[in-house]
């Protein structure tokens, strides 16, 4: 090529300056839909922030977060990592059997100690010597079905579950594992699909001595569901679809949310959140410290208290037919020592329902 | 500011290049100086004043050394200048090391200073030292223009991670630089290749190293995997930085010396150090080893000279005993080669490679640790100490996860890729096709590297100790 150096210089130079121009002028956004997080704000420019280094630190985060077409560039990175470097995971996320999942490894004994300590506290403070039946289920995350068989690092789930059961042997264990398969989970998210866990709800109710059988109408959410792993992985995978189950019993329930300590009435399915950043939050309004569901059409007077993580959001509605009242507590958003202010523990079933992911990362339990 | 960052690539550098090429010749150095001070101040603004003071010290003593040339006071000014430069380095970099060792020996509790180390202080201190010593020796003319001297010291391409540019090498270029499309194109190539080496290879292997350092699931083989990845990470990071510095230098009309020449293909440790961090090795040779008498002395003195050079080489890399041990370890190997078996291993090239890789791996394990205690633990782990298993689940996974990157890095650390490109160039009949291919590859490397940066991927700065 004649003038090879000239052509190379001009093409590279123009490309760099074009990206520069886009960096400087591209419209800024406040929120990343794909990563479900607020993006860094422009740092304050002052002598003080410059001398302290705050401006520079903030600016570096700001320009990374607002890089033009950032999701596309992240996808380039994800694809390069997978297909050129032949890396098995990208930021601990991997794609196998049509699912995106996040490696959960290694088993964290300190976190298990913390979870046990919280459960012991709840039991000793509210449940011991009371007229209550205490149950536990541990929900295996998607890696249980995907990791080992696809050559990814995996904790020994059977040993994990067995050892935690033994730590809290005052609880009656309800084993859900035989009823689960990878198809019961969203492809792009960590959670399970409500339409696939009706049998699990029936089994749980039966194990606690009640019946939760009911007929449901399956509704499909129009908005595509890009699960939490889809945005994080930046991989080109089709979003999921959320389906939710309704019937007369669920429609007639009286539901109260206690986000601020005061009761605010609502519905089992929050359709506003269904259209929001994380549509899975439509189930029991997502992250809520305390929810009560009263069912006047219940076949028994039994009450249930559920200590839970987000997996329970979609399962608890399916337990409603079996109970006159269900109280759902999330000790990630409520101090355990406040629980007694809201619940009088007497003559109830108490169900601890936690995923392996949360137990292995239990620092958020208060 | 890191070269491998969005603020540098798409904010700082384009603005500097525009200003630089728009500026008339007389303003080019002032533009470079101000840009370099902004670049330096970006990380730690207050140390810009330290940098300016250091430059002034070099400038004033350079003038004094020159003014009193031929008189004893010239030597005194040179010594004062050297001592002042070393005092700054000792205060900021080594004070806590000396205090903590003093406390250990005496049982006292003298409080540590806990100063933030000015970035690049080891590099620019050595540049000033070389300037004042060379002025004293008469091998360079004194620089009477303070802006030109400050531009040399603070020049951002080589400021924080080298290469250690001698004043003698850029003396002429400070006032007379050639700008051409050939040089600019070469600068683009070197910069993009260096950027890719740092972001794609070094940072990826850095993730593996970080994972290893945090895992409870360790094993003997995992230690070896770690040290293999760590060697490559340091090489690709450091040589990538040098490539970027050399490339940026060419964009601005400078020619900096090469700093790496495929060190892992060396057949002896002697050859390794001729290929690794060349600018540092030659600096110590010219400003420490030869002034001490070099090898034209009696054997005992020669051994002392070698000991001193490798002690300070280790100490230059970090204010901890493991760095000193690391330097002395190489000093011992080089001495053994010099007096016993260098010629033998040079005759058996393959065995020489194995020997170099093994002993360099050991050295990098020492280098990787934050202190000597941890270095001993890590070295022990390589040989099964501490009751760790031979292999662990995580080792096998990470071997599969990073195996291909390690192979690419292994090939990239040899001249195979470069020779392959030359071979391809010679085989393609239409030269234009190769030229187009080269431009496409460079553009793709920019896009992929930007993808890694936009993702906020692991991007460590390894030169905070220097």
Chain A residues closer than 8 Å to B184 by CB: 5, 9
Is the confidence at residue B139, as pLDDT, over 70?
A: yes
A342 within domain boundaries? yes
Q: How many domains does chain A have?
A: 2
pLDDT for residue A188: 97
Question: Residue B158 above 70 pLDDT?
Answer: yes
Q: Which of A15, A59, A153 is facing B397, going by the closest CB pair?
A: A153
Beta strand A99-102 pairing with A93-96: antiparallel
Across chain A, mean pLDDT equals 94
Interval B339-359: pLDDT, tens: 999 999 999 999 999 999 999
At B451, the pLDDT band (50, 70, 90 cuts) reads very high
Q: What are phi and psi of B322, to 5 degrees?
A: -65, -30
pLDDT digits 0-9 by tens, A224-240: 999 999 989 999 999 99
Chain A: give the shortest CA distance to residue B279, in Å.
28
Tell me: pLDDT of B465 over 80. Answer: no
> What's the pLDDT band for B86 if we cut at 50, 70, 90?
very high
Contacts for B298 with CB less than 8 Å, ≥ 6 apart: none
Confidence class for position B464, pLDDT limits 50, 70, 90 = low
Please state, for a pLDDT cut of 90, what percent of chain A lies above it: 89
- Average confidence (pLDDT) over A168-189: 97
- Taking the C-alpha atoms of residue B238 and residue B263, their distance in angstroms, rounded to an integer, is 12
Question: What is the nearest CA distance from B453 to chain A, expressed in angstroms?
Answer: 7
Cβ contacts of B31 within 8 Å, gap of 6 or more? B16, B19, B20, B23
Our measurement of the distance from residue B248's CA atom to the centroid of its chain's CA atoms, rounded to an integer in Å, reads: 16
> DSSP letters along B91-109, please?
IIIIHHHHHHHHHHHH---
Shortest CA distance from A70: residue in chain B: B454
Query: Taking CB atoms and an 8 Å limit, are A11 and B43 in contact across chains?
Result: no
Nearest CB among B45, B431, B455 relative to A51 is that of B45
Q: What is the pLDDT of residue B429?
A: 81
Q: What average pLDDT does range A82-105 have in this prediction?
A: 95
B402 CB neighbours in chain A (<8 A) are: 87
A96, A127, A146 - which closes a domain: A96
Q: Is the model's pLDDT at B459 over the cut of 90?
A: no
Identify the band that residue B162 occupies on the pLDDT scale cut at 50, 70 and 90: confident
Asked whether the predicted pLDDT for residue B428 surpasses 90, the reply is no
Whether pLDDT at A1 is above 70: no
CA distance B180 to chain A (A): 9
Please tell me the total number of residues recorded for chain A in this structure. 366
Q: Is-contact B248 B9, C-beta < 8 A? A: no
Among A40, A63, A93, most B C-beta atoms within 10 A, so best to mutate, is A63
Residue B432 has what pLDDT?
Answer: 87
With beta carbons less than 8 A apart as the criterion, state whether A282 and A242 touch.
yes
pTM: 0.91
Distance CA A118, CA A113 (A): 9
Q: A262 to each of A266, A271, A285, A335, how far by Cα in Å?
A: 13, 21, 16, 16
> B160 falls in which pLDDT band (50, 70, 90)?
confident
The partner residue sitting opposite A106, judged by closest CB among B6, B217, B452, is: B217
Which residues of chain A are within 8 Å of residue B206 when distances are taken between CB atoms? Answer: none
B412 vs B461, residue with greater confidence: B412
Cα atoms found within 13 Å of the Cα of residue A16, Cβ hemisphere only: 25
Query: Does B45 reach chain A within 8 Å, measured CB to CB?
Result: yes
Q: Say yes or no for a CB contact (<8 Å) between B452 and A105.
A: no
Distance, in Å, from the CA atom of A245 to the CA atom of B86, rounded to the nearest integer, reads 75
Residue A182 sits in the same domain as residue A56: no
Q: Which residues of B touch A20 (CB under 8 A)?
A: 10-11, 14
Do A169 and A261 lie in a common domain?
yes
- If you search the block for the tokens 């005496």, which residue do you land on? B106
- Could you tell me if B448 and B200 are in contact, meaning their C-beta atoms sit under 8 angstroms apart? yes
Contact A245, A217 (CB under 8 A): yes
Closest residue, chain A, to B409 (C-alpha): A85
A182 plus A267 within the same structural domain: yes
| Distance of alpha carbon B155 from the chain centroid | 15
Is residue B59 predicted with pLDDT exceeding 80? yes
* B447 and A CB contact within 8 Å: yes
Same domain, A153 and A237: yes
Which 8-state DSSP code applies to residue A88? Answer: S
**Cross-chain Cβ contact A1/B431 below 8 Å:** yes
Cβ A76–B11 below 8 Å, yes or no?
no
Chain B residues whose CB is inside 8 A of the A24 CB are: 11
For chain A, percent helix, then strand, then coil, each to nearest 5? 45, 20, 40
Domain termination site, one of A66, A96, A126: A96
Record: contact A85-B405, CB cut-off 8 A:
yes
Segment B60-84 mean pLDDT: 96
CA of A48: which chain B residue's CA is closest?
B45
The band of A22, judged by pLDDT with boundaries at 50, 70 and 90, is very high
Q: Check residue A129 and give left, alpha or beta (phi > 0: left; psi -120 to 50: alpha).
A: left
Domain limits of chain B?
Answer: 6-177, 183-454
- Give the dihedral of Cα atoms B236, B241, B245, B251; nearest 10 deg: 70
Percent of chain B with pLDDT over 90: 90
Structure token digits, residue A77 = 């990175």
Residue A348 sits in the same domain as residue A232? yes
Same domain, A223 and A355: yes
- Residues of B within 8 A of A19 (CB-CB) are 10, 446, 450
**In the predicted model, is pLDDT for residue B461 greater than 80?**
no
Residue A101 lies in a domain: no
Tell me if chain A has a CB within 8 Å of the CB of B438: yes
Q: Stretch B132-157: mean pLDDT, rounded?
A: 96
Q: Is the per-residue pLDDT at A76 higher than 80?
A: yes
Mean pLDDT, chain B, integer: 95
Q: What is the pLDDT of residue B402?
A: 97
Q: Which pLDDT does position B265 carry in this prediction? A: 97
Residue B337: its H or E element = none
Whether A63 and B11 lie within 8 Å, measured CB to CB: yes
| Residue A308: pLDDT over 90 | yes
Neighbours of B94 (CB within 10 A): 15
Q: Which residues of B touch A78 (CB under 8 A)?
A: 455
Mutation target among B2, B6, B445 for the A interface, most CBs of A within 10 A: B6
- Which one of A72, A96, A120 terminates a domain? A96
Pair A68, A121 in one domain: no
Query: Which chain A residues are within 8 Å of B40, Cβ to Cβ?
Result: none
CA distances from B452 to A62, A76, B6, B160, B458 (A): 16, 8, 10, 22, 9
What is the value of ipTM here, to two decimals?
A: 0.92
pLDDT at B170: 94
Band of pLDDT at residue B430, cut at 50, 70 and 90: confident
Instruction: Identify from A5, A32, A94 which residue to disrupt to test chain B contact, counting B C-beta atoms within 10 A and taking the largest count.
Output: A5
**Residue B385 scores a pLDDT above 70:** yes
The shortest CB-CB distance from A64 to any of B46, B200, B454 is to B454
More confident residue, B428 or B413: B413
Kindly give, in sequence order, each residue whose CB lies less than 8 Å from that of residue B187, ignoring residues fewer than 6 positions away: B246, B247, B248, B249, B250, B251
Q: What is the pLDDT of residue A2?
A: 64
Can you tell me the mean pLDDT for B148-164? 93
| CA–CA distance, A35 with A227 (Å, rounded to integer) | 10
A134 in a structural domain? yes
- Nearest alpha-carbon partner for B407 in A87, A74, A152, A95: A87
If asked whether residues A51 and A188 sit together in one domain, one would say no
Clarify whether B348 is annotated catalytic. Answer: no
Phi, psi of A239 (to 5 degrees): -70, 165
- Print the domain residue range for A175: 106-364
Burial readout B349-365 (b: 16 or more C-beta within 10 A, e: otherwise):
eeebbebbbebbbbbbb
Answer yes or no: do A8 and B453 touch at CB < 8 A. no
pLDDT in tens, B234-276: 999 999 999 999 999 999 999 999 999 999 999 999 999 999 9
Q: What are phi and psi of B425, to 5 degrees?
A: -60, -40
Q: Which two tokens stand for residue A299?
A: 């076949």
- Listed range (A202-206, A345-349, B311-315) with the worst mean pLDDT: A345-349
**Residue among B6, B13, B442 minimizing CB distance to A63:** B6
Nearest to A108 by CA among A165, A164, A182: A164
Specify the range with the lowest mean pLDDT, choosing from B57-71, B298-312, B366-380, B417-431.
Answer: B417-431
Among residues B223, B317, B348, B353, which one is catalytic? B317
Report, as an integer, the average pLDDT of B293-300.
Answer: 92
The overall longest dimension of chain B from CA atoms, in Å, is 75
Instruction: Kindly identify which residue of chain B lies nearest to residue A156, measuring between CA atoms.
Output: B393
């Amino acid at each position: 090529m004649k003038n090879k150096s000239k052509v190379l210089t001009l093409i590279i130079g123009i490309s760099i300056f074009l990206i520069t121009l886009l960096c400087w002028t591209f419209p800024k956004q406040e929120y990343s839909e794909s990563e479900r997080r607020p993006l860094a704000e422009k740092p304050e420019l002052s002598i003080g922030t410059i001398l302290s280094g705050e401006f520079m630190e903030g600016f570096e985060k700001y320009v990374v977060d607002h890089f033009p077409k950032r999701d596309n560039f992240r996808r380039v990175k994800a694809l390069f990592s997978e297909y050129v470097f032949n890396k098995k995971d990208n930021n601990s996320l991997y794609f196998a059997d049509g699912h995106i999942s996040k490696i959960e490894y290694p088993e964290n004994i300190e976190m298990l100690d913390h979870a046990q300590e919280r459960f012991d506290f709840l039991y000793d403070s509210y449940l011991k010597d009371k007229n209550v039946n205490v149950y536990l289920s541990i929900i295996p995350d998607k890696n249980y079905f995907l990791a080992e068989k696809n050559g990814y690092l995996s904790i020994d789930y059977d040993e994990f579950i067995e050892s935690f059961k033994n730590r809290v042997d005052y609880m009656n264990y309800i084993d859900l594992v035989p009823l689960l398969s990878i198809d019961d989970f969203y492809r792009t998210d960590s959670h399970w699909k409500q339409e696939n866990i009706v049998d699990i709800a029936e089994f749980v109710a039966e194990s606690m001595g009640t019946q939760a059988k009911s007929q449901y109408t399956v509704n499909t959410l129009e908005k595509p569901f890009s699960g939490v792993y889809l945005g994080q992985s930046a991989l080109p995978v089709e979003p999921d679809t959320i389906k939710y189950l309704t019937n007369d019993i669920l429609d007639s329930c009286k539901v109260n949310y206690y986000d601020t300590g005061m009761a605010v009435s609502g519905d089992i399915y929050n359709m506003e959140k269904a259209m929001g950043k994380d549509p899975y939050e439509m189930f029991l309004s997502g992250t809520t410290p305390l929810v009560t569901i009263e069912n006047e059409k219940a076949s028994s007077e039994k009450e249930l208290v559920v200590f839970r993580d987000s997996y329970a959001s979609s399962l608890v509605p399916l337990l409603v037919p079996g109970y006159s009242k269900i109280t759902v507590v999330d000790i990630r958003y409520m101090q355990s020592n406040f629980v007694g202010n809201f619940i009088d523990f007497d003559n109830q079933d108490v169900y601890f329902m936690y995923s392996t992911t949360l137990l292995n990362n239990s620092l958020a339990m208060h | 500011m890191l070269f491998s960052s969005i603020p540098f690539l798409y904010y700082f550098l384009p603005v500097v290049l525009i200003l630089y090429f728009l500026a008339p010749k007389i303003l080019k150095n002032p533009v470079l100086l101000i840009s370099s001070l902004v670049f330096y101040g970006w990380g730690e603004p207050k140390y810009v004043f330290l940098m300016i003071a250091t430059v002034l010290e070099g400038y004033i003593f350079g003038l004094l050394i020159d003014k009193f040339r031929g008189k004893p006071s010239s030597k005194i000014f040179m010594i004062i200048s050297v001592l002042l430069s070393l005092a700054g380095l000792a205060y900021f970099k080594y004070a806590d090391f000396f205090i903590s060792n003093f406390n250990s020996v005496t049982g006292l509790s003298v409080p540590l200073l806990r100063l933030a180390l000015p970035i690049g202080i080891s590099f620019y201190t050595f540049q000033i030292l070389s300037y004042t010593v060379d002025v004293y020796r008469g091998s360079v003319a004194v620089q009477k223009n303070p802006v030109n001297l400050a531009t040399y010291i603070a020049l951002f391409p080589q400021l924080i991670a080298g290469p250690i540019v001698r004043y003698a090498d850029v003396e002429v270029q400070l006032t007379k630089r050639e700008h051409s499309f050939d040089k600019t194109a070469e600068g683009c190539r070197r910069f993009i290749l260096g950027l890719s080496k740092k972001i794609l290879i070094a940072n990826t292997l850095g993730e593996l190293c970080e994972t290893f350092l945090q895992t409870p699931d360790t094993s003997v083989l995992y230690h070896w995997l770690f040290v293999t990845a760590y060697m490559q990470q340091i090489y690709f990071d450091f040589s990538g930085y040098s490539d970027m510095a050399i490339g940026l230098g060419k964009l601005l009309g400078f020619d900096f010396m090469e700093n790496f020449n495929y060190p892992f293909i060396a057949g002896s440790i002697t050859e390794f150090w001729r290929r690794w961090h060349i600018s540092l090795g030659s600096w110590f040779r010219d400003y420490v080893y030869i002034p001490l008498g070099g090898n034209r002395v009696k054997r005992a003195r020669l051994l002392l000279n070698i000991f001193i050079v490798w002690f300070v080489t280790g100490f230059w890399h970090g204010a901890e005993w493991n760095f000193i041990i690391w330097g002395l370890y190489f000093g011992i190997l080089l001495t053994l080669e010099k007096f016993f078996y260098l010629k033998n291993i040079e005759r058996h090239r393959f065995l020489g490679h194995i020997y170099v890789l093994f002993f360099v791996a050991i050295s990098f394990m020492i280098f990787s640790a934050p202190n000597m205690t941890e270095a001993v633990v890590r070295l022990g782990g390589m040989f099964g100490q501490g009751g760790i298993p031979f292999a662990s689940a995580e080792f096998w996974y990470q071997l599969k996860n990073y195996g291909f990157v390690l192979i690419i890095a292994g090939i990239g650390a040899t001249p195979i890729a470069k020779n392959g490109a030359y071979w391809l160039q010679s085989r393609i009949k239409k030269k234009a096709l190769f030229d187009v291919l080269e431009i496409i590859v460079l553009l793709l490397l920019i896009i992929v590297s930007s993808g890694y940066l936009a993702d906020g991927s692991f991007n460590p700065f390894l030169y905070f100790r220097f």
